[in-house]
Amino acid sequence: MIERQDLIKNGKFLIIAGPCAVESEEQAYSVATTLREMGVQVFRSALWKPRSSKDSFQGVGLAGLPWLRRIKEDLGMLIATEFVDKDQINPTREIVDVPWVGSRNMQNFELLKALGDETDQRPVMLKRGVASTVKEWLQSADYIGRERVILCERGVRTGTDSTRYTLDLNGALVAKHDHNMPVLADPSHAAGRRDLIPNLSLAIAASGLDGIIIEVHKNPDQALCDGPQQITPETFREVLGQIGAIHRVLNAQSDEVLMAQR
């Protein structure tokens, strides 16, 4: 079992990457293999997708667990998956290393309490609600236990109509520096459009946050959900190199971009 300190370390920038949703075994394994070759060690792999429309793709559910087990065992990757219900905690225990709570469930207190009661104390990523204050975000973290939580800023709703949400680096930095919390950011959901992802990713790295979770799909235009905000592996490779350059400047070191280590 990994702990939060295995992922969040001084001088290291955590990279979590993968498709918005697991669509098939072939799709998941293919993109995971490509990301692993780039050095990514934590695979974003949503099995459940809470959607506004009931007619939208809702995810493959537990049927995808064997696919994630194969990725974990063959490629040695850590698995990050969103939970939308407390009944999903136990069935995933041996496969999912980093459960996360999405924006829509940030105040699903029964889910938060169930994660807080976990006996194995996995680190939990907690995304900020689209209209939540930093105080409310931290109060939700308290249900799980702040010592286990990795916060994730993924954009808040403002008056903009040109992007999906607005990436609030101000709030993310307040959570990190005023409250001593590890904070990642999600440029994919904040922008909702792939052409903005590279520059937002660089802003996240330059701000001094602890890492990034980013959506990568080999054929975004054919994705079953959120295709417009997913980037290709080729674009991701370029972003990764630029993040590495920024991170080296910030940390005055010459290593490659540093991933979370087991």
- Checking if the pLDDT of 262 tops 50, the result is no
Q: Into how many domains does the chain fold?
A: 1
Among residues 115, 113, 102, the alpha carbon closest in space to that of 52 is found at 102
The confidence band for 9, taking pLDDT boundaries of 50, 70 and 90, is confident
CA-based Rg of the chain, rounded to a whole angstrom?
17
How high is the mean pLDDT of the chain?
92
Q: Which of 74-83, 121-130, 223-232, 253-262 has the lowest mean pLDDT?
A: 253-262
120, part of any domain: yes
The residue-averaged pLDDT of 25-44 equals 97
Q: Which residues pair with 169 in a beta bridge?
A: none
3-state secondary structure of 1: coil
Which pLDDT score is estimated for 257? 47
DSSP state of 124: E
Domain that holds residue 34: 4-251
Cβ atoms of residues 13 and 129 within 8 Å? no
The residue-averaged pLDDT of 194-209 equals 96
121, part of any domain: yes
234, part of any domain: yes
262, part of any domain: no
- Checking if the pLDDT of 1 tops 60, the result is yes
Which pLDDT score is estimated for 168? 97
Q: Write the CB contacts of 203 (distance below 8 Å, at least 6 apart in sequence).
A: 167, 169
Among residues 97, 91, 60, the alpha carbon closest in space to that of 76 is found at 97
Q: Which of 115-119, 138-142, 174-178 has the lowest mean pLDDT?
A: 115-119
47, part of any domain: yes
More confident residue, 70 or 258: 70
* Pure H helices in the chain: 4-7, 25-37, 65-75, 109-116, 134-144, 169-177, 187-191, 197-207, 233-251
The residue-averaged pLDDT of 105-120 equals 93
Among residues 46, 78, 47, the alpha carbon closest in space to that of 61 is found at 47
pTM as predicted: 0.93
pLDDT in tens, 213-259: 999 999 999 999 889 999 999 999 999 999 999 988 988 754 444 45
260, part of any domain: no
Taking the alpha carbons at both ends of the chain, their separation in whole angstroms is 9
The residue-averaged pLDDT of 15-27 equals 96
pLDDT in tens, 146-197: 999 999 999 999 988 899 999 999 999 999 999 999 999 999 999 999 999 9
CATH number at residue 224: 3.20.20.70
Hey, CA dihedral for 208, 213, 215, 216, is it positive or negative? positive
**Cα separation, 1 vs 121, whole angstroms:** 9
The backbone region for 39, taken as left when phi is positive above 0, alpha when psi lies in -120 to 50, beta otherwise, is left
Q: Residue 61, Cβ neighbours under 10 Å: how many?
A: 13
256, part of any domain: no
Which pLDDT score is estimated for 49? 78
Among residues 155, 157, 158, the alpha carbon closest in space to that of 196 is found at 155
Q: Write the CB contacts of 194 (distance below 8 Å, at least 6 apart in sequence).
A: 220, 228, 229, 230, 231, 235
Tokens representing 88 are 């999903």
185, part of any domain: yes
Q: Write the CB contacts of 223 (distance below 8 Å, at least 6 apart in sequence).
A: 19, 20, 21, 23, 217, 230
Which pLDDT score is estimated for 53? 76
The residue-averaged pLDDT of 17-32 equals 96
